[in-house]
Amino acid sequence: MNPCSSVLLTDLYQLTMVQAYIEQGMMDTAVFELFVRRLPAQRGFLMAAGLEQVLDFLERLQVSPAELEWLKQTGRFSRSCLDYLETLRFSGDVHAMQEGTVFFPNEPILRVTAPLPEAQLLETRIMNLLNFQTLIASKAARSVLVAGEKPLIDFGLRRAHGAEAGLLAARASYLAGFAGTSTVLAGMEYDIPIYGTMAHSFVQAHKDEKTAFEHFALAQPKNAVLLIDTYDTEAAAHKVVALAPGLKQEGIMVKGVRLDSGDLADHARKVRRILDEGGLPQAQILASGNLDEYQLQRLMASGAPIDSFAVGTAMTTSADAPSLDCAYKLQEYAGRPCRKRSEGKATWPGPKQVYRQYHRNGRCDYDVVTTVQAPGAGDPLLHPVMTGGRRLAPAQRLTELRQRAATQLAILPDSLRSLEGGHPYDVRISQPLQDLAQAVDECV
């Protein structure tokens, strides 16, 4: 069973509502939008990601015979509901921000326009996909901003929340500017560069560390990156130096060493000196071990001679903010705009567009959220991506999305490029949208 493609990966209430809609003949067109209500603490911006997986899900959407049979035997669903589900395909339109786009609270990043039961049923999985990848791309972008030109590698699979989280975290972090991942399947599925060295167990399985290093270098002559903190980091660096001449005779250059514990800046300085004095100036230092963007910032500021960083759990789980306050809300049904007014959770009604305005220096200045009918100035951020259930263009390559993300980070205002986030970005609600909200409230 592959949970990633099952229509039943949804909340039960989606099905109970679908049944009620069918029984009442409420099959008119609905408009839902997905947006984030508030930024997590310590975030100045978010980066949209996950659209590709949403479109893929919508294109393939289908209830399998086994799923239909199971639904039937629960006794919960009417014949008309089951008949509807049996032939269900997604027939609607989708507008979205392209992946890699930077966005802010109250800005829709996805709009679904479809018959009400279809648009409703999809809510759970659309949120599940966009919440997660946007969360990870937004977190990873922070490390990218801090690390500058130094390559970052995703090492997070083991503590990712399950299989799909590990795979999609590799994708989202690469999109945001990471150089690659240790997750092999992400290499196969998404053509992301894969990286890997050795584990402590490799050293432990050998009677001595030096033999372990030698065996690894012989097996990986082009990728001889040696993990040197299993017992004593500096002693291991000396062993690497002692081994290097023999390996050189075999045509093997020591490509680098990995540090995974202790005071990484201090070890890096000591190890760098040992390697340089030992005739291995080309050997690079990779640091790993519970890193996040704050530790990266400290290590960068310390001037420690570290060439690249592996970031794992903190990024893959977005540890300081493991979810977004996102919502997928009905904005219009049968041509009638609507909004929710629940305490602390009110929404802006109707289908919307977001326009971005730039400073003369090319940096983002402010955004305007407005109705789709109102005229807007600047770059519209939502684009049509699917019509009648079919994509308007083939999937973009991940390298293109990555390029867009890099451009987006480059044009962020300086205040949003720091880890603290600075002043909130200016998101304006247009007068036409405010008027519409008032008109809707007066109708209820």
Per CB under 8 A, contacts with a second copy among 27-56 are 30, 32
* C-beta of 13 vs 358, nearer to a second copy: 13
**Smallest distance from a second copy to CB 387, Å:** 23
CB 176 within 8 Å of CB 195: no
Residues of span 202-221 touching a second copy by CB under 8 A: 202, 204-205, 207-208, 215-216, 218-220
* C-beta of 289 vs 378, nearer to a second copy: 289
What's the token pair of residue 321? 């903010």
Instruction: Tell me the window of 190-198, 239-247, 358-366, 397-405 that interacts with a second copy (CB under 8 A).
Output: 190-198
Helices 209-219 & 233-249, crossing angle to 10 degrees?
40
Comparing CA positions, the residue from 410, 411, 408 lying closest to residue 97 is 408
Residues of span 52-91 touching a second copy by CB under 8 A: 67, 70, 74, 76, 78
Q: How far apart are CA 151 and CA 95, in angstroms?
A: 33
CB 199 within 8 Å of CB 227: yes
Residue 116 lies near a second copy (rule: CB under 8 A): yes
Residue 255 lies near a second copy (rule: CB under 8 A): no
* Binding test (CB under 8 A) with a second copy, winner from 42, 248, 250, 261: 261
* C-beta of 129 vs 385, nearer to a second copy: 129
* C-beta of 317 vs 408, nearer to a second copy: 317
What's the token pair of residue 369? 């959220």
Question: Site mask, a second copy, residues 301-340, x = CB under 8 A?
Answer: ------------x---xxx--xxx-x--xx--x--x-xxx
Q: How far apart are CA 104 and CA 97, in angstroms?
A: 12
Cross-strand bridge partners of residue 311:
154
**Smallest distance from a second copy to CB 19, Å:** 5
Residue 13 lies near a second copy (rule: CB under 8 A): yes
Instruction: Tell me the window of 179-187, 278-286, 295-303, 360-368 that interacts with a second copy (CB under 8 A).
Output: 179-187
**Smallest distance from a second copy to CB 407, Å:** 27
Q: How far apart are CA 211 and CA 402, in angstroms?
A: 41
**Smallest distance from a second copy to CB 70, Å:** 5
Question: What are the backbone angles phi and psi of residue 185, rounded to the nearest 5°?
Answer: -65, -30
Question: Site mask, a second copy, residues 157-176, x = CB under 8 A?
Answer: xxxxxxxxxxxxx-------
**Smallest distance from a second copy to CB 317, Å:** 4
* C-beta of 294 vs 333, nearer to a second copy: 333
Residues of span 358-417 touching a second copy by CB under 8 A: none
* Binding test (CB under 8 A) with a second copy, winner from 150, 200, 238, 270: 200
Q: Tell me the three state secondary structure of residue 63.
A: coil
Q: How far apart are CA 102 and CA 121, in angstroms?
A: 28
Q: How far apart are CA 265 and CA 271, in angstroms?
A: 10
* C-beta of 184 vs 410, nearer to a second copy: 184
* Binding test (CB under 8 A) with a second copy, winner from 343, 414, 420, 442: 343
* Binding test (CB under 8 A) with a second copy, winner from 129, 241, 299, 386: 129
* C-beta of 60 vs 390, nearer to a second copy: 60
Question: What are the backbone angles phi and psi of residue 439, rounded to the nearest 5°?
Answer: -60, -40
Q: How far apart are CA 399 and CA 386, in angstroms?
A: 21
Instruction: Tell me the window of 143-151, 180-188, 369-377, 382-390 that interacts with a second copy (CB under 8 A).
Output: 180-188
DSSP string, 105-163: TT--SEEEEEEHHHHHHTHHHHHHHHHHHHHHHHHHHHHHHHHTTS-EEE--GGGSSSH
Please tell me the count of residues contacting a second copy according to CB under 8 A.
106
Q: How far apart are CA 309 and CA 289, in angstroms?
A: 9
Q: How far apart are CA 155 and CA 379, in angstroms?
A: 36
